[in-house]
């Protein structure tokens, strides 16, 4: 069930219009994307193992490469199980599903985003991937905004993630949230860091 319905996802550079989440575990929320499709965003849980396995298996080889920064034939079982172990503070994960409001039904996962706190620091590692066929309609913006709200309540200062230098889509998304970009010398990757306190989400 969804706690609220957003008529349309905010523009790509207007993520601050999304309402703040509560500090407790966030319930599912629904939104209509720019192309008119409805989605439900909710926290991931231990019961999502099969759904995550299916989600990553359905991604194209190119999308998997962009997500993990190197060619991946399939996501290993140990990694999938680690992805389901979240605590809503140090490891926060969100997933998105298509949403049929009339029937109250959901389908397979179409996106996932997470951050993992780096030790006892006030920074966390960020990762986000949207399924082929669901990009450039605002879904990544919704997920990123939700992650930043969680991060603020967890007293984190910044979220950082590595991306391939060629991955202009994720770089554009994070820069819309004010990300700073730093190249890794001698590598084909860059680091993008978003300051939690400056996003206004």
Q: For the chain, give every domain's residue range.
A: 5-156
The answer to whether the CB of 56 falls within 8 A of the CB of 83 is no
The answer to whether the CB of 20 falls within 8 A of the CB of 29 is no
pTM here? 0.86
Q: What phi and psi, each to the nearest 5 degrees, are found at residue 168? A: -70, -25
pLDDT reported for residue 89: 85
Q: Which helix (H) or strand (E) holds 131?
A: none
- Kindly give, in sequence order, each residue whose CB lies less than 8 Å from that of residue 126, ignoring residues fewer than 6 positions away: 113, 114, 115, 147, 159, 160, 161, 194
The answer to whether the CB of 117 falls within 8 A of the CB of 156 is yes
- Check the CA dihedral 194-61-55-37 and report its sign: positive
C-alpha 38/C-alpha 149 separation (Å) is 21
Q: Which fold has domain 5-156?
A: Aminopeptidase (3.40.630)
The answer to whether the CB of 195 falls within 8 A of the CB of 158 is yes
Residue-level pLDDT, tens digit, the chain, 201 residues? 566 555 444 444 433 333 344 444 567 899 999 999 999 999 999 999 999 999 999 999 999 999 999 999 999 999 999 999 999 889 999 999 998 756 666 679 999 999 999 999 999 999 999 999 999 999 999 999 999 999 999 999 999 999 999 999 999 999 999 999 999 999 999 999 999 976 555
């Amino acid at each position: 069930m969804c706690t609220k319905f957003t008529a349309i996802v905010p523009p790509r550079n207007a993520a601050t219009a999304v309402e703040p989440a509560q500090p407790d575990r966030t319930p599912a929320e629904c939104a209509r994307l720019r192309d008119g499709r409805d989605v439900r965003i909710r926290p991931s849980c231990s019961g999502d193992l099969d759904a995550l396995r299916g989600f990553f298996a359905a991604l194209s080889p190119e999308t998997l490469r962009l997500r993990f920064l190197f060619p991946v034939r399939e996501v290993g079982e140990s990694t999938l199980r680690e992805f389901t172990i979240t605590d809503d503070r140090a490891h926060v994960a969100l997933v998105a599903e298509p949403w049929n409001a009339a029937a109250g039904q959901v389908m397979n996962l179409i996106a996932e985003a997470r951050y993992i706190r780096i030790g006892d620091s006030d920074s966390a590692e960020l990762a986000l991937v949207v399924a082929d066929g669901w990009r450039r309609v605002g879904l990544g913006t919704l997920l990123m905004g939700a992650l930043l709200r969680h991060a603020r309540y967890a007293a984190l200062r910044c979220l950082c993630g590595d991306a391939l230098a060629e991955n202009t889509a994720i770089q554009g998304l994070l820069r819309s949230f004010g990300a700073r970009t730093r190249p890794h010398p001698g590598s084909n990757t860059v680091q993008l860091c978003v300051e939690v306190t400056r996003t206004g989400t």
